Every structure is written in structure tokens, then in C-alpha cells.
Structure 1
Amino acid sequence: MKTIRTFFTLCLLALGMVAAAQQPAIIPVPSSVSWASGTYTLPSGQITIGCSSAQLHPAADYLAAMLARPTGCQVKVKNNGKGRIRLSMTGQGAAGGYRLRVDAQGVAITGNDYRGVINGIATLRQLFPDDIESRQAVDVRRWTLPYVNITDQPRFEWRGMELDCSRHFFSVDEVKELLDVLALYKIDKFHWHLTDDQGWRIEIKKYPLLTQRGGWRTFNNQDSVCMRRAVAEDNPDFNLPADKIRTNGQGQQEYGGFYTQAQVRDIVAYAKIRGIDVIPEIDMPGHSLAAIANYDGLSCFPQTGWGTVFTTPMCPGKDKMLQFCKDVWSEVFDLFPYEYVHIGGDEVDMKNWKQCPDCQKRMESHRLKTESQLQSWFNHEMERFFNQHGRTMIGWDEIIEGGLGATSTVMWWRTWAPNAMKQTTSHGNKFICTPNVPFYLDYDEGGKSLINLYAFNPQPDNLTTTEKALILGVQGNLWTEWVPSRNRMMYMAFPRMLAVAELGWGKPANAKFEDFNCRLIKHYTRLQKLGVTYRLPDLTGFHTTNVFTGDRGTVSVNCQDPQAVIRYTTDGTLPNEHSKRYTGPFEIDRNTDFIFRSFATDGRKDAFVKVSYRKETPSEAIEVADLSEGLSAEWHEYTGADCAGIEAAPVNGCYTVNGVMIPDSVKGNIGLIITGYIQVPEDGIYTFALLSDDGSTLKIDHQMVVDNDGEHSPREIIGQHAMKAGLHPIEVKFFDHNGGQLRLHVYNAQGKEVQVKYWGTPQL
């Protein structure tokens, strides 16, 4: 009897597991879900959507178009609230919240407000099979939905994505495509970066040259880098789209484009229907060469351009510059109805301000002691202007310096300025989290990118309850210096934006990365149906450098996307669709260099990775007496773009560090050479994970173990080295010019992190 009861229990558990596996994967995870047995099937031929008020007609029409295309059915919207799908609104409860019920009577979505209904529609889309995202009619006889009852609301009101359209330009249709995907995952803020040094993208009727000339450029270094990468990486997504290139009157090719005011209004209206607010960013007083180059009197001096790191800014000492800024914003206000607007305010090179008579006169008349206070004076002047027009100003976290205005909202981007959150909220100002690590989507995605986003805490414990309430939410930022095409834009944004979406929406108690990752796998097919050229998951199972000490080593490669095809070469050429396909682990008996590359089911080539396998004899330890604790770090005033030239640069200072790190007082142009000895506790193969921003190299026993050189965003490269217990010489080189990072983790053969000891030069 007991055996029968146990068997019956196991059967029920198995059925439950199967049922759970068959349940739709919803991202972001809802607050409360109750699944029931049974399914509802949409009627064939005609579908009715009933909405309870005229305010919901745009949402109903949006849903109708979404259903009509793949189902091939006629979809009618009724005003009496009756239909197979019913939309209604309570006007009560948390903003953006909704209830969704599927039962024998059909589908009912009740939103707390309009955006709540849109959020319910986003969840409904994910309850349907993936084919609901198809762009043409699909031969599916039965469009079924599982019975379910969902009660849901967002954690934060700000769940955003920024798109930089200045460095590289995206058409109206491309922006709308992005908005469609963002709406599916309940992203409700679109931060639109419209002006910068490289291009002015929004029509301002009072200043037509801003787009007539400022909207176009002869190819710059960002364009040329992209075109070189298209060839070097066998990736056409780095090519400049032909429809964004024209020939000017001198026969030169120019890159660019801009949005007319009518187009801007069209995009803003399109986003509004989908529950998305659009926030324009017009960068000032820095990042403004596209304006300065076309209108006289906006800068301190006629000579403008790039300084050591940043461009010459506008001149806050000139009344003409102030009037220009207000004129521009007056037209922008008419195009963007949302409360928030973004002034930029980051990376301002104030060198000219120190020498400008107008700036110094302004400082004297307002009793300002520093140029940072002059920028704050400008910010406050614009803030008052914004407030007079019913707008709230957002600025990057540099606007804190010199004095924060009473109504300004701070957008935190500098990870190396961690006090920005406390400084802002303790002042009573609102705050948006988008620190460059991990929220910059233009940084190459790595194996830890998703979990670092997912695990980010927007409300740390050092904030009071009042201060935590001032955290509006989170945002992913996509800067486009190296993102010239629609496909590359989608590749860099997804799937990382799905992690941002769930971080901003879900309750911390429901946040389980393993569960999110399982749901994410199920969304790859849906993204394909949407035409999203998402980044395939990392290939795993190896390091950049892999060591084996026996006669043979094993090559093992995995990909989380079960549909991905993995191909490889060993002759130094990049894998293509004809290269050898990886089908399972295999052994090698000699040093071998591989290039692995994953391919999507549509044949699209993803990134490739170079992997070395090395047969090593463990390096002997050395004996050195009278060592001092810590490594020696030598700081060079270095402006180069790789580690090779650091030694030749002037020395600024020498330090002792307790590990591989940047000494606290080392800033600006950094070239570090860190030397000494690493002590490992036992014989074995050790794994070294070197993270840096920008470049770095690691040598142990005078052998290159990790080569992470070159200019790049934060990137971790992992290599191995076989060593005997004891002391081994170590050398790390590193360079950076603006807010760098440097870190080394060491792991043993079992994958456990080892707390190694570091020693410097012998004591005298």
C-alpha cells in the first residue's frame, strides 16, 4: 500500500513538473500568478475586443493590430466593453498595475491606469505561442491560452532604455521597432539622446543649420573603426547603412540624418500608445560641437575642437549662448509632452572657462569661486527655465558638483562616483540608477553581464527609508560609437534589456537569477520571431588560455541557446557556415589554437572567440629571501592605447599595493606596472581572471598568461598556468585615461577562489 501511495505521489509530482515546464515563460516575472487547468481558444475568423472607455481605444487598436497580423483573423473593437478580450480601467491602485484573467469566458485585463492595461497586454502577448510575434499570417489552427489569474504591479516607475542617435543615426522605423520590443517587456521610458559632438539629430526651426549641416559629417574615426571591424570580424552589421550616406556638393561622402519635428511627434505618439514616455536629451554645455560649429558665439573662443579627452564646451559667460539654449528647449518642449527632459551636463572640459573673460566676469558677478560652480549656475538657470515650462530637469551625476538644484533629478552613470546616490537623495532629489558597470549596453556583453545586471541593488542599505523612496528606478544605456546599424543595435541591447526590465519590475523576493535564465532561454525563439538580432549566449566550457599537464586535454564547448550551431577552425581563419561543426567534447595531445563561433538558426554569425590549449610542465617555484609584503606599483603619466609603451612614459609615483589594483591616489592618465611575487599554496593548474578597463596584461614566470590589452570597456579575460607551490614572479601592466578598473581573481583546479599572497622586492 505504501509503495502504491509513493508511486502515486511521484506521478503527481512528475505531472506538476511537466505542467510547470509547459507554462509560458513571462518576463518580467509577475508579482502573483495562479495557474489553473484548462485552456481558452480564440475563435477562428473573427475576434472581438471590448473596451470600457474611449480612453482605452488606442490600447484596443494596438492589441487588434497585434493579433490580426499573425492570426489572419478579423479583429473588431467594440465600445461596450463586451468581447472575447475585455479591457477596462479602475483609476485606482499603483501606477502601471493590472489584473489579467483567462478562463472559459475569454480574457479580461483590468488596469489601474492606461499603462496598466498596456502592461497587461504585454503579458497577454507572452501567454500566446511565440508565433504571435510573426510579421505575417501563420498557419496555426488553434490560438490557445492557459487558464491563469495574474495580479501584477511594478516595483519602480522608471524602467528605461537610452538610445544614442547622435554618434550613429537610427531611422524612424528602426526606433519604432525598438519601441515595440521594449513594450513587450514593460520598459516604460525611452531616453532619446539626440545631440552630441558627432551630430545634431532634431530639427530646430529657429536654427536650421543645426540639422542642415550639423546632421551630417564626413566619415569620422567612429565610422572608420566600424568599417574596419566589419572586415576584420567578418560582420556586416558594422557597415554603415547605405541609406544614411549621401554625397555633398564637393563630391565627398557624408554620414548622417535627422528627425523632422513631424517625425519626432510621430515617434512620441507611437511610444505613448505603447505606454512609453519619451525623454529627450539635448546635451549642454559640453558635448556640443555639432551646435558650436554651426553658430558663432556659442563657445568661449573661435578655436574649438577636442582637448586632451573632451571637446570644448559652450560658454556660460555669454548671454547669446544662454538664449540659444532656451530657444532650442522652447521648441523641444512643444514636441515632448512628458514631464522629464535631460540636459546632459557630463564630461565638461572647463579649461577654456578659466581663460575666458566672459566666464570670469560671470563668476565674479555671481560670486562663484570655481568653474564647477559656474556650471552649476548654468544648470540652475536652465532648471528655472524648465520649471517655468512645467518640466523637470535630469542631468548626469556631474551636476551634483558645484551644487545641486532643488528640483533636478540625477542620473548616475559614473560607477567610480558611488557617493552620488547618497549625495542626491540626502539632498531630497530624485535619482535614477544607470552606472556604466553594468548598465552600459555598448560595453561588450560577457558571461557575467546578465547576472551583474540582475543582481544590482538600486536601494542599498546605506539609504534611509525616505532616501530609498527617491530612487525612481533603473535604465540601460546604449551609446553608439561602435553601433552603426539596426542589427548591431538590437544585438547590443538584447537580451540584456530583459534583465533590466525584470530588475526594474519585479519584487526582490521573486528575483531568482536561475529562474530568470531558464525563462530567458524560452524567449530566444520569440525574439527571433520579432526580428531581433539578439546576441547569442556566451560559449562556455573553456578559458581564453587553457592548460593541461597530462598527455591529453579535453576540448568542451557549450551554448545556453539550444538552437545555436557552433563551428570552429584551427588555422587562424574565422569560422564560416562551411567550417567544421562542433558536435561534442574531443581530446587533443598538443598545443592548439581554436577560433569558435556560434551561428543563429537564420545563419547569422555571432561573435567569435579565440581559445588556446597549452600543454605545460608546472613551473618551478623560486626562493627569494627577505621579501616585503605587497606588490610594487609604478605609476606612469601615460597617454597611449596599449600596454607596450608604459615604461617609456614619465613616472608620477611608486606605491605598495596588497593585490592587483589601482592605488587610491592614481587618477587621470594611468600607466601602471605592478611587479613582485605571487605565492601559491600547492602544486596545480591555477586560473587567473583579469578584469580591466582599459587594457591590461598578466605575466607569471615571465610567461603571458592573460592578454587583455587594448582600449576597451570593462572586460574580464581568463587564462591558466601550471605552477608548483611557492613563489613565482608576477608582472601586471595596465592603462586607462578616465575612470578605470583593475582586478585579479585566482582559482585553483577545483574552481575555488584562492587567497594568494603577494610579495614585493627584497627588504634591505
Structure 2
Amino acid sequence: MKKIILLLFSILSLGIQAQVNLVPAPQKVTVGTGEFNLAQGTTIAYSSAALKPAAEYLQVCLQRYAKVNATLVAGKQGDIRLTTKKGIAKDGYQLNVKANGIDINAANYSGTLSAIATLNQLLLQNDGKAAIPTVAVTDAPRFNWRGFHLDVSRHFFTVDEVKEIIDLMALYKLNRFHWHLTDDQGWRIEIKKYPLLTEKGAWRIYNNQDTACMQLAARDDNPNLLIPKKNTRVENGDTLYGGYYTQDQIRDVVAYAKQRGIEIVPEIDMPGHFLSAIENYEGLSCFPTIGWGQYFTTPLCPGKQKVLDFCKDIWSEIFKLFPYEYVHVGGDEVRKDTWKECPDCQKRIKDNHLKNEEELQSWFIHQMEAFINKNGKKMMGWDEILEGGLSKTATVTWWRTWVPDAPSQVTAQCNDVIFCPGSPMYLSQAEEKTSMRSIYEYDKEMLKGMNAKQKQHVIGVQGNMWCEYIPTLERVLFQYFPRILALSELAWTKPELKDYDEFYSRLPKQFAMLHKLNVPFRTPSLDGVYHVNAFTTEGTMAVSCADPLATVRYTTDGSFPNKNSQLYNGPVKVDETTHFILRTFAPNGQAGEMMKADFLKQGLLEPVKADASKLTQGLNAAWYNYRGEKCREIHKAPFNGNYAANDVVIPEGVKGNIGLIITGYLRVPEDGVYTFSLMSDDGSWLKIDGNMVVDNDRPQSPHEEVSQQALKAGLHKIEVRYFDSNGGMLRLWVFDTKGQKMQPADIYFK
């Protein structure tokens, strides 16, 4: 039945794509003929005072997107009519566009704003006309929490920049803005009782993240990675980076988001990630010496009453600024070595009959939660708040993919959970070819192993943006888009109405819309070429781009492609080794990412001599207790043992500090060029007969590297090396000479 529904939905979508192209996909769409023409003085009627802000927002949108000055009228008589109506699904709406007017009936204010988002997309895609195609849409969201997270501590974004992000959230029906306001690198919100938090804590001398951004800007020829001068000032001869929001500015942003149907969740991270406060107020840490440990900074001292009072004072001011039910306490990545040595912390452990420092952290979090609850709010925290015990009222944002059972633990206790796993929901990480699909289809993973009751406590999903190396709004939007479209549909659309290929076919219209809005989104990776492309006599460089409005330019001399470089107009033949650098350009001339594509002329690697009759299926995986960051060093670490492996994967039971050396033979059935796709988090390499074929050897988030090698039929020695300290991920796909994926059981022997 599900396949039939998908087929019907796809047929319907294909039939209306020229006129109606919506993300996220709605439940039901019926397309009419003709359109509703907007005219100067078009009236927007709102049936109740509660809907007036929505009408005012629509008025702004019509001016912004169609240059139409609309008039507001109270009541039910107008060209565009906003009404709430009983019997509509929670947060749902019914949109009916006719030639003589538009009706929006919604369950509530939130549903009204979602209908306006649909209306805005229809308007933006209508070839520049001040008109909307006639259509009837019935729709409602799958998840109540459709989140968009932004870290403004590592790099700061102005009020206007945050508002631009909020407008784009509203366009794609995202309704929770998780605002990460404080961290070690900067305190971004005014707290009147503690003015030093922003007078000093909001500013810093350039740190290693700032210098890294500038280095990346030069390496990638990308001005969007430069530190904006507007966020700097000179003091005593030093250039300081920073900025913060006054409480009046916070109220302004909260009101702006509220009008657009978006709730803001403030995060004040504690007891770790608190250095920007600890540096400026004495007595907040266990000892006077503070700073960075191996990985994290000095935390708050939960043994001191002064610390608890300090945090409660901050929360008291936060509560007055954010009128919604949730606040986020952070609670992640807490360094606990100082607690072990601190007399105050040890006394707190003893007095409260706690077992260890993990329970001390939990005790601190519970103290904050009790205060938060007392003030009529609910607490959220990263999944570390599970450690040491989870209270009955906390909501968890799960991010640690190496703790895969955390969501089941949370929901088994009847606590709510939001899925924002580091992979694939950390959109600050570089986008891969597989990223969009991984996000879009994540619902196939997120509810595994949960019973019906547990599933009710999965309240939504969220994309996270950590801005250590993202200093500008342009870079934020480049990282978010177009992946946020996949997240939007994951969060909104029911699974039985989702199909990735159909979604992907809708993207060109969405890209055109984003171009119109001057959103500097990332053009999806070019198809048709790899990092290393092998050929024996003649090769062809042939690429395709998912954005039909983008152009592709290239160089072969090692220089960065620019707007004057060779324009790609079709396949390019090569008969000698050639090193291409390709780059996409948006219609406004903005340069995108560069892609290196080496075309290497190769002879066929000769097979090794081995007695195939003595070989068995599979590979050998040697596990080393490795904590380094270079594949070539793995074998020097302590040896943990050998594991049989049927594929290039992390063997079951291998965790913690991982260094793998996977060896065996690769059997290829015929002479020709074979393709190898190696993905890992962190580093890896693939060698065949001692030759480096795929070099993915670096600390990184999940990254796929694809290369080719010309091989003669027969057996070839294979070696895959891999390292990771958090039990990440590893996989190798092999494709034959015709591009068909080969099965591990057919090709691996030992």
C-alpha cells in the first residue's frame, strides 16, 4: 500500500511540478487552472486579533517578494482571508487559492504561518509575476519540533543577520530556533547583574579559530571565511573580536521570531563551556588557575553555593526575555579532573551521598532544573545529562552518535528526545554527496528498537551549526542550504509521502527561488568525476550539475578557477594525465567550492600470484589501541587482536581507541578501471598492491573520497587503514568497470 501511495504522490508531483513545487512536501495538493493576481491595495482580512500579527507578516512578505502594497482589514471580508477553524489537524492548515481570492483556514496561529510559508513559495516560484497559481493544499506537520540551531559564541552574528536566518526558517516551516548564546569563546547576552560578562566576556584577542578561518579563506579563495571587520574593535593596540546582544535586542528578535511562528530556545551552557564567565568573576572555579585542559576548559565548581547562586541569577534574567517553555542548560563535554581534587566538590559528593563526579554533574544539573521548573520552565540538555541520572522532566537533545542507545534510554524513561546526531545533523560539517540523502532518510534509523510508547517521546529533529570555523552569515547559509531543505522535509512530511528521488527532482525550482533571494547556498557536488579518475588510453572529463542556473568553469594549470576561466560546455577528452580544478558559479557570479579531479593515465596493475584454492571469503581486521591521527602510525600502537571481517567495516566489539589495519585480497573479474568509494570518520586510506588508491588520511567528520584504479583481472593485495577515537564509521564500496556496485562476498578473500 505504501508503494502505491508513493507512486500516486510522485505522479501527482510530476504533473504539477511546473506550477507547484513545495518543500517540505504537503499531504495533499490539488491544482486548478489560472491564478490569483495580486494588485496594489490587495486586502488581507484577519478574523481575530490573534491573527493580526500573521496578517502583518503576510503584508511584509507580499511587499518583499512581489512589490505589492497590501492593506489589512479586520474581519472575514478581503482578498486574502485568514481564519482559524476547528477540525483541522494540530498545527495544520487548509490553503485554497482561487482566481477571485485566497482562503487560509488553520488550526491555530502556527498553522496559519505554515500556510503563509506555502503561499510565499508559490509566489516566489511564479516566474517573477505578482500572482499565485490556483491550488488547494491540506497539510499538517509530522513533528512538533523542527529545529534550527546557531552557535553565536564562537563567531558572532548581528541582530539583522539573525533575523535573516529566521525569515528563511519560516519559509521552510522550521519552528524552533536554538540560540547557543554562551560558551568559552564569548558571552553574547547582556546580564544586568553581571555586566563584566559582556563588557569583557564578549570580546577576545584573535584565537586559533579566527586565524584558522583566515587561513582557510586564503587556501580556498573564499572571502566568506574572512573575519568581518564589523565584529572587531581595537583596544590598547590589540584587535579584539566579539559582540553581544542587549536585552532590548533580545526582546526584539524574540518578537520578530514569534510573529513568524518560531519559538526561541536560549542555551546558557553549564557547568562546562563557561570560561567566558569564569575568567571575569572570581570564585566560580574550583581553583584560581583556569584555562584549557587537553580537550576542554575549566568548569564551574558545583561545590560552592556562590556558583549555584550565580547561575540562578543568570537564569532569572533569561526567563524574563524568553516567553516559551524551554531553556537549554547545555551540560556537555565537562572536564571533571578539577572536581576530583577540589575539597568543596568532594564535600558536596559526600554530603549528598553521590558515588562519583558524574553524579556530581547530574546533581548540579538537577539543581538548575529544579530552579528552572520553579520558574515555570522546562529544561533541555545535551545527552550527557543522562550520565549520573536523568530527571523525569528533562528533554534531551541527542548528538553523540557513539552513544547510540541514548535515545532509547531517554524514551524508555518517558522523557522526550530531539534527534540532532553529529552525523548527519551537524551542518557545520562539510557537505558530502551522501549528506542530503542521509538527512532525508534519517527517519529509517531514528525509531529503531523503540516501542509505540517510546516513539511518542520523539518530538522532533534539529540541524546544528557550530561556528568555530564559520565567521560570516554567508558561510552559515552556505553550510545550511540546501541540506536544510532535506531536514525540513524529514521534520514535516509523513514517511509514506516521502521519496528521495522525487524530492531531488524538486530542488532545481528551489535553487532558483534561493537565487532570487540571494541565498549563497552550496551548489551540490558535481556528478560524473571523482578525485582520481583513471584511464588507460583516453579519458573523458564530463560533469553535470544539479543546479541548472549554475555555470562550471575549470583550469588545468593548478590556478583557482575564476569568472574568466574556461567555461565547461560539454565533455572534454584527454589522452595524457591532466589535473582539473572545477568550480561552480551562481548566476550573480558568486564562486562556489572548488573540486580537484585528477585524470591519470595508468597501465593495468598486474595481479599477484596466490593460490585461490587456499583462500577463504572475507578479510582480516587487526585492531590496535591507537590514539593518534595518522594511518601510517597505527601499527606502532598496542595490539588488541585480530577479527574476521566480511567487509571493510568496523568489526563488532571494536570501540574506544580504534586503529584498524584490514588486509586480504581483492578479486576482480576482468581487465579495466575500477572505482573505490571510501568513507570514514576519522581518517583512512586504501592501498592496492602497495599503491595508494584512496587517501582519506586526516582527522575529520564523515567524509567520502572516491578514486579509480586500472587493474588486470585476478587477485590484488588490499590494505585499508582506519583510525578514530570515538568509534565512528568506516565503509568501502567497490564498483566494476560498468559502474555496478560489487558485493563483498564476491571480491574479498584471505
Q: TM-score, normalised by structure 2?
A: 0.94
Q: CA deviation at 1:742?
A: 2.2
User: Which residue of 359, 379, 382 maps to 2:368?
Assistant: 382
User: Which residue of 45, 56, 59 maps to 1:61?
Assistant: 56
**Is 1:29 matched with 2:25?**
yes
User: Which residue of 524, 534, 547 maps to 1:537?
Assistant: 524
Q: Is the 8 A contact 2:93 2:139 kept in 1?
A: yes
Residues 483-632 of structure 1 correspond to what in structure 2 (within 5 A)? 483-549=470-536, 551-624=537-610, 630-632=619-621
User: Which residue of 92, 97, 114 maps to 2:92?
Assistant: 97
Q: CA deviation at 1:438?
A: 0.8
More deviation, 354-363/384-393: 354-363
- The structure-2 alpha-carbon separation of the partners of 1:615 and 1:53, relative to structure 1 and needing over 3 Å to count, comes to same
More deviation, 629-638/176-185: 629-638
- The structure-2 alpha-carbon separation of the partners of 1:70 and 1:156, relative to structure 1 and needing over 3 Å to count, comes to closer
2:464 counterpart SS class: strand
Residues 181-580 of structure 1 correspond to what in structure 2 (within 5 A)? 181-249=168-236, 251-457=237-443, 460-549=447-536, 551-580=537-566
Q: Distance in 2 between matches of 1:699 and 1:291?
A: 49
- The structure-2 alpha-carbon separation of the partners of 1:71 and 1:730, relative to structure 1 and needing over 3 Å to count, comes to closer
User: Which residue of 700, 719, 724 maps to 1:731?
Assistant: 719
- The structure-2 alpha-carbon separation of the partners of 1:355 and 1:621, relative to structure 1 and needing over 3 Å to count, comes to same
Q: Is the 8 A contact 2:663 2:718 kept in 1?
A: yes
How far does the alpha carbon of each residue in 1:460-490 deviate from its partner, in whole angstroms, 9 at most, with x for none? 2421111111110111111111110010011
Q: Distance in 2 between matches of 1:697 and 1:428?
A: 43
Q: Is the 8 A contact 1:131 1:526 kept in 2?
A: no
Partner residue of 2:743? 755
Q: CA deviation at 1:143?
A: 2.2
Partner residue of 2:627? 638
Q: Is the 8 A contact 1:631 1:677 kept in 2?
A: no
Amino acid across the alignment from 1:631: N
Partner residue of 2:44? 49
Q: Distance in 1 between matches of 2:657 and 2:233?
A: 38
- The structure-2 alpha-carbon separation of the partners of 1:618 and 1:584, relative to structure 1 and needing over 3 Å to count, comes to same
Q: Distance in 1 between matches of 2:496 and 2:59?
A: 35
Partner residue of 1:12? none
Q: Distance in 1 between matches of 2:473 and 2:126?
A: 22
Q: Distance in 1 between matches of 2:372 and 2:90?
A: 25
**Is 1:39 matched with 2:35?**
yes
User: Which residue of 640, 645, 651 maps to 1:653?
Assistant: 640
Q: Is the 8 A contact 2:149 2:464 kept in 1?
A: yes
- The structure-2 alpha-carbon separation of the partners of 1:585 and 1:212, relative to structure 1 and needing over 3 Å to count, comes to same
**Is 1:713 matched with 2:701?**
yes
Q: Distance in 1 between matches of 2:749 and 2:156?
A: 51
More deviation, 509-518/404-413: 509-518
Q: CA deviation at 1:292?
A: 1.4
- The structure-2 alpha-carbon separation of the partners of 1:660 and 1:302, relative to structure 1 and needing over 3 Å to count, comes to farther
Amino acid across the alignment from 2:739: G
More deviation, 376-385/682-691: 682-691
Q: CA deviation at 1:72?
A: 3.7
How far does the alpha carbon of each residue in 1:336-364 deviate from its partner, in whole angstroms, 9 at most, with x for none? 11101111111112222222222221111
Q: CA deviation at 1:79?
A: 0.8
2:42 counterpart SS class: strand
- The structure-2 alpha-carbon separation of the partners of 1:84 and 1:646, relative to structure 1 and needing over 3 Å to count, comes to same
Amino acid across the alignment from 1:606: G
Q: Distance in 2 between matches of 1:179 and 1:593?
A: 42
Q: Distance in 2 between matches of 1:208 and 1:485?
A: 26
More deviation, 605-614/726-735: 726-735
Q: Is the 8 A contact 1:425 1:467 kept in 2?
A: yes
Q: Is the 8 A contact 2:621 2:660 kept in 1?
A: no
Q: Is the 8 A contact 1:635 1:653 kept in 2?
A: yes
**Is 1:165 matched with 2:160?**
no
Q: Distance in 2 between matches of 1:307 and 1:69?
A: 50
Partner residue of 2:7? none
Q: Distance in 1 between matches of 2:731 and 2:285?
A: 40
More deviation, 305-314/169-178: 305-314
- The structure-2 alpha-carbon separation of the partners of 1:144 and 1:441, relative to structure 1 and needing over 3 Å to count, comes to same
Q: Distance in 1 between matches of 2:316 and 2:588?
A: 47
User: Which residue of 712, 725, 733 maps to 1:745?
Assistant: 733
Q: Distance in 1 between matches of 2:573 and 2:413?
A: 61
How far does the alpha carbon of each residue in 1:110-167 deviate from its partner, in whole angstroms, 9 at most, with x for none? 11101111111111111214479xxxxxxx6x52222211111101100011001011
Q: Distance in 2 between matches of 1:663 and 1:513?
A: 30
Q: Distance in 1 between matches of 2:86 and 2:188?
A: 38
Amino acid across the alignment from 1:721: Q
Q: CA deviation at 1:432?
A: 0.5
Amino acid across the alignment from 1:243: K
Partner residue of 1:9? none
User: Which residue of 683, 686, 692 maps to 1:704?
Assistant: 692
Q: Is the 8 A contact 2:623 2:658 kept in 1?
A: no
Q: TM-score, normalised by structure 1?
A: 0.92
Partner residue of 1:686? 674
How far does the alpha carbon of each residue in 1:269-292 deviate from its partner, in whole angstroms, 9 at most, with x for none? 000000000001111111111111
Q: Distance in 2 between matches of 1:660 and 1:22?
A: 44
Q: Distance in 2 between matches of 1:70 and 1:395?
A: 38
What residue ranges of structure 1 are gaps of 5+ in the alignment? 1-14, 133-139
- The structure-2 alpha-carbon separation of the partners of 1:344 and 1:92, relative to structure 1 and needing over 3 Å to count, comes to farther
- The structure-2 alpha-carbon separation of the partners of 1:211 and 1:569, relative to structure 1 and needing over 3 Å to count, comes to same
Q: Distance in 1 between matches of 2:428 and 2:408?
A: 27
Q: Is the 8 A contact 1:131 1:529 kept in 2?
A: no
Q: CA deviation at 1:304?
A: 2.1
% identical aligned pairs: 49
What residue ranges of structure 2 are gaps of 5+ in the alignment? 1-10
Partner residue of 2:105? 110
Q: CA deviation at 1:663?
A: 4.8
Q: Distance in 2 between matches of 1:507 and 1:699?
A: 43
Q: Distance in 2 between matches of 1:750 and 1:154?
A: 42
Q: Distance in 2 between matches of 1:752 and 1:78?
A: 62
Q: Distance in 1 between matches of 2:324 and 2:218?
A: 42
